[in-house]
């Protein structure tokens, strides 16, 4: 037991798997998600995987993602022609479309005639496999510099744009299809329909995969991974850890003990909620550890956000190790596994995706110490937040848990810009509680993705309160709308709601004399400030 890397999960075969070949696209996981939304199981594989290994997975179809490269660039990703000759339906998007064209003898020109963003697509064969039932003029999302000017032999050109003569082609005989644009993004108005046409009509796949399948597959994988050993799960109060714990509880029952660490970084009332709601919903064993003083001591004098994240991650593990010893003394069998609610966006932002940069250490990913003595069980590792909520509902968790807005594992420790102290935590807890109360009262809980409330602890500004000069802290409201946390926009909350939140915070929370609104999208900003 020596690594923070998840133990290899057993292969859970699925008869209708669709492989998404990732060429470094920012949207590769979104493609896989769209496939799953079409009720078809999907997996992402790197473009460096040999074609023989891809075909050994017996895929029902293969999708080639976009990517940042030009097909003419030195060192650009390539693909063995054998993938197009194996009889497996293939759908190329953007770079994958151009790679299919050049590999099979078509022509892609480096003309410099670029298309970025919303573009009008002209469908020339409205009854084709991909475009049946869609408008002859439709808006799509382009992002390319090269352009296909001639389709490979045997392909029909089915769409174009004012700039690109071949914006889509189809070969029904060989079941090979491609589009120059990104059907997976919402800006392509009929993109999901086009993708489903490929899956259902082109590849002949029946839409039968559901969140129930996720549960069945993960339960089997967890049982095979854990065996007769014991596992512990760190409950943070958030939906991710709760769903992960409920899933593992379903798989191994009493072999799981959930550990809730009261590190003093939670929001107002959340410790009580975890103790009441989660146990009532799952019947799981729950051990509560009071570690507030330990975490405050470890964070004393630390202002750097990355250092704070790593300290919090380290202390979590140390607390778990102590809990392991206590459980061992009480119950005997070895505790070998640590369950975490890691999601795919956590992996991407920690540099774990194909060709992705490390934006910030996630407490479940980059924040763990190197000498961790648990093997990790991460049953939600390939899912987005909305998919996790669906799994939670399927497992019977109450809405109070499943619909809870996202909250970071490091808690309020990364919503205090500056050193974390008990006084600052108490201040932020009160401001956060007011914001949550007013958003709930206004019926806006489901309208926004989340609303981090941030304390700028190292910043003070002049104010006037009670006819006197004050020198207090600013509080930042960060309401955002998002589908999956990969991108986000600031939520346009009603002015009267914002005004009420501001008035209450400045009136009721000591040492706060200013409330500001963060109107930055992601990118360039992240959702959390630290």
- The Cα 337–Cα 372 span in angstroms is 11
> For tokens 């992002």, what's the residue?
143
Provide CB contacts within 8 A for 444, sequence distance 6+. Answer: 493, 497
Instruction: Provide the pairing of β-strand 468-477 with 461-465.
Output: antiparallel
Element (H, E) at 222: helix 211-226
Name the DSSP class of 6: P
- Percentage helix, strand, coil, to 5, in the chain? 35, 20, 45
- The Cα 197–Cα 132 span in angstroms is 8
**Is the CB of residue 499 less than 8 Å from the CB of residue 434?**
no
**Is the CB of residue 240 less than 8 Å from the CB of residue 269?**
no
Among residues 233, 214, 298, 314, which one has the least CA distance to residue 264? 298
Please identify which of the residues 115, 170, 182, 270 carries the catalytic annotation: 182
Quick one: tokens of 116?
């970025």
- The Cα 244–Cα 402 span in angstroms is 11
Provide CB contacts within 8 A for 443, sequence distance 6+. Answer: none
As a three-state string, the secondary structure of 223-263 is HHHHCCCEEEEEECCCHHHHHHHHHHHHHHHHHEEEEEEEC
- The Cα 487–Cα 178 span in angstroms is 26
Please identify which of the residues 94, 148, 258, 451 carries the catalytic annotation: 94
Active-site residue flag, 184 = yes
Among residues 333, 255, 326, 336, which one has the least CA distance to residue 288? 326
Active-site residue flag, 233 = no
Please identify which of the residues 115, 184, 349, 530 carries the catalytic annotation: 184
Among residues 19, 83, 18, 25, which one has the least CA distance to residue 51? 83
* Catalytic positions, written as ranges: 94, 182, 184
């Amino acid at each position: 037991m020596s690594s923070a890397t998840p133990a290899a999960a057993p292969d859970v075969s699925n008869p209708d798997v669709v492989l998404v070949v990732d060429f470094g696209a920012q949207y590769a996981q979104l493609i896989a998600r769209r496939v799953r939304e079409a009720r078809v199981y999907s997996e992402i594989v790197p473009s460096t995987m040999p074609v023989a290994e891809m075909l050994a997975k017996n895929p029902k179809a293969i999708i080639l993602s976009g990517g940042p490269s030009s097909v003419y660039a030195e060192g650009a990703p390539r693909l063995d022609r054998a993938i197009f000759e194996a009889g497996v339906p293939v759908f190329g998007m953007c770079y994958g479309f151009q790679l299919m064209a050049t590999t099979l003898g078509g022509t892609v020109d480096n003309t410099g005639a670029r298309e970025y963003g919303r573009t009008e697509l002209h469908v020339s064969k409205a009854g084709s496999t991909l475009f049946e039932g869609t408008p002859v003029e439709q808006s799509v999302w382009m992002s390319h510099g090269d352009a296909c000017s001639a389709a490979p032999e045997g392909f029909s050109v089915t769409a174009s744009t004012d700039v690109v003569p071949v914006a889509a082609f189809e070969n029904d005989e060989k079941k090979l299809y491609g589009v120059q644009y990104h059907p997976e993004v919402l800006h392509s108005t009929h993109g999901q329909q086009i993708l489903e046409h490929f899956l259902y009509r082109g590849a002949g796949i029946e839409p039968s995969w559901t969140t129930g399948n996720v549960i069945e597959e993960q339960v089997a994988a967890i049982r095979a991974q854990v065996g007769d050993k014991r596992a512990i799960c760190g409950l943070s109060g958030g939906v991710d850890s709760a769903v992960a714990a409920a899933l593992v509880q379903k798989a191994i029952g009493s072999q799981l003990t959930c550990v809730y660490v009261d590190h003093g970084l939670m929001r107002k009332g959340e410790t009580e909620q975890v103790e009441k709601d989660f146990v009532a919903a799952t019947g799981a064993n729950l051990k509560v550890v009071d570690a507030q003083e330990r975490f405050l001591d470890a964070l004393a004098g630390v202002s750097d956000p990355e250092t704070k994240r790593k300290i919090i991650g380290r202390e979590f593990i140390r607390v778990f190790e102590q809990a392991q010893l206590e459980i061992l003394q009480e119950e005997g069998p070895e505790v070998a596994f640590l369950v975490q609610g890691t999601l795919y966006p956590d992996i991407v932002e920690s540099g774990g995706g194909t060709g992705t940069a490390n934006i910030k250490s996630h407490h479940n990913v980059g924040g763990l110490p190197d000498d961790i003595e648990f093997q990790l069980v991460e049953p939600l590792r390939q899912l987005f937040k909305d998919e996790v909520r669906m799994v939670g509902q399927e497992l019977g968790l109450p809405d109070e848990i499943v619909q809870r807005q996202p909250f970071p594992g490091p808690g309020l420790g990364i919503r205090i810009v500056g050193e974390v102290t008990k006084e600052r935590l108490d201040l932020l807890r009160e401001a956060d509680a007011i914001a949550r109360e007013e958003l709930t009262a206004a019926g806006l809980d489901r309208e926004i993705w989340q609303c981090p409330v941030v304390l700028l602890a190292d910043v003070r500004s002049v104010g006037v309160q009670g006819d006197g000069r004050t020198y207090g802290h600013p509080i930042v409201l960060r309401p955002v709308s998002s589908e999956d946390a990969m991108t986000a926009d600031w939520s346009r909350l009603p002015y009267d709601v914002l005004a009420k939140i501001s008035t209450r915070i400045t009136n009721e929370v000591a040492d706060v004399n200013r409330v500001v609104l963060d109107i930055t999208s992601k990118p360039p900003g992240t959702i959390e400030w630290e």
